[in-house]
Chains A and B, each alone.
Chain A
């Protein structure tokens, strides 16, 4: 069973969403609905499942409904129709009390503009999730200090958020989400407000933390590079519709429609595609010149071994971690994978 399951979720914003719902179900477009009824479609028949321990990136431009989608998972927004279940419980079945318990123990959230409490110190901010759970100050401060150290903010615990720079503030946000030690983390454009250098720094930090903690992360972004870098799976939203779900390579190699194609057009493929994706399996590799070979790990990205290949005018031999030969890459494969369609 998947960790998070979203089934046929519709969200319509306006005065009488249930009245407009049939029209949307019949396939009216966003523009038609807006013109005829004044309602905005937030999500249009979105279904997806997110597995335990993976990072699922939800990507789309502004207005595509990605922030709306993530808020359905912890029910900050109620769906107009459809079902959202987390670990098998339908969140719509929870009453007010259960919902609060659910939010306290099942998931935490990181926000685009940090969502820190300006009147609380860093320490109090990080401990907030534990505070609302009713933990005693000594206990929660201890946990909070651990998390502050984990994100590298030692020494800043008694500062107020607006004494910190943007990157540091978001680290506080991250530490706050980690402090409650929930299985699921929702990150709503968590790094979008940061400048590029700090952003890639934070991405690295998140990946490091993730390789240790193995949480289920739902990450929202409008930045394709970010989603390719972080995501195990990527879902692309356009106008409230889920256009494509797949691994980063799927998305790049087989874009589902023009929208995704346009999106991935400018991606540096060498940065995203791994050797094992494009290699010819060893069994089919007859007639390949094996005199001049470069050894490549199967998980290496093309950009990592491309210079070597060009320098030596060689073919590649792809090996796994134990050194077994898995396949070969010739110029033909390289050319095919790097050519923009």
Chain B
């Protein structure tokens, strides 16, 4: 690898020249011959029409091909996720609301290490979801289901990718720009193609959640593992831990506070995305906001907005307090004996 490093710049240059040549030869605006460029310098004034990389038709062809040839594959994913979503939603909607409410409160209570303050706060938030407007209860359940499935997807893919990045510098260098892309590209750029791939409804929202919310989880997993005290990792190596023992016994447990922070970030961003996804027809609490705005009903939009904030608080408290509990167990026992 070291040996070829000096050729990298050359490769980039050749690729650039190839792109210009392709742009020139495929353009219908190109001059009759190259010699015209030298005799008539007017093309130096405005950006010439022929100097145009044909990325758009290329991407369109690619996307068409993707849908045609791998349509079955996406259909499969769609059916699986949709089935999961529908079952989960039907089950939770079918439950009497007090039972569901008590389950959420109980979950919070145990996950936060029997922290009463947090639990009471979450209890109020849960109650107010329905209290704000009875319609919101079922819609919040839909939103929750989408967020939970999206997050599971993020966890299943994000954490292993983060681990790979922490282990291998080359993998990290390759994936970091992809994460940058995922975080900066406007969400509609993948929301709309998502509809083409998965149809309307919950699945493109899950897809969008994945694209939008997985980068912080990957970054924090990677960072968390790399931040584990070098001497501790060295100690594991010195005693003959193999890669697996090192990862599961030392690196992951010590990176857990950071990973939990990543999961927390992931949840918050999922919730933000699921509201935007209401604009591509995803049902849930987000469409109440959209409906309110469409009818210029500021009160309705604000009311739904508040419900979203409450939902966010519930998610945040539950994931956050779980992370804190773990952190307490491993890091913050500072009381010194003697």
Contact = CB atoms under 8 A, between A and B. Distances in A.
B56 interface: no
Size category of the binding interface on chain B: 20 to 34
Given A76-B234, A113-B231, A128 B329 contact: no
B334 A111 contact: no
B301 to A, nearest CB: 47
B237 A76 contact: yes
Interface in A125-167: 128-129, 131-133, 156, 159-160, 162-165
A117 B239 contact: no
Contacts, number: 85
Contact of A163 (B235, B238, B240, B335): B335
Contacts of A165: 336-338
B238 A74 contact: yes
Nearest to A103: B240
A162 B332 CA distance: 8
A107 B336 CA distance: 32
A72 to B, nearest CB: 12
B253 A103 contact: no
A119 B235 contact: no
Contacts of B236: 117, 128, 132
Given A76-B238, A108-B238, A117 B333 contact: no
Nearest to A74: B238
Contact of B245 (A101, A132, A162, A186): A132
Interface of B: 2, 229, 231-232, 234-242, 245, 249-250, 253-254, 329-331, 333-338
14 contacts: A76-B234, A103-B238, A104-B239, A108-B239, A111-B231, A111-B235, A113-B229, A117-B235, A119-B254, A128-B236, A132-B236, A164-B336, A165-B338, A186-B238
A133 B240 contact: yes
Contacts of B254: 117-119
A234 interface: no
Interface of A: 15-16, 74, 76, 100-105, 107-109, 111-119, 128-129, 131-133, 156, 159-160, 162-165, 168, 176, 180, 186
A54 B229 CA distance: 31
Given A119-B254, A163-B333, A132 B338 contact: no
Contacts of A109: 235, 238-239
Contact of A115 (B2, B235, B253, B335): B235
A330 B250 CA distance: 61
B239 A163 contact: no
Given A16-B2, A164-B337, A165-B338, A118 B239 contact: no
B331 A112 contact: no
B233 to A, nearest CB: 9
Nearest to A119: B330
B78 to A, nearest CB: 41
B331 A159 contact: no
Given A117-B232, A117-B250, A117-B254, 20 more contacts: A15-B2, A103-B238, A111-B231, A112-B231, A113-B231, A115-B235, A119-B254, A128-B239, A129-B240, A132-B239, A132-B240, A132-B245, A132-B249, A159-B337, A160-B330, A162-B333, A164-B337, A165-B338, A168-B338, A186-B238
Contacts of B334: 162
A108 B331 CA distance: 26
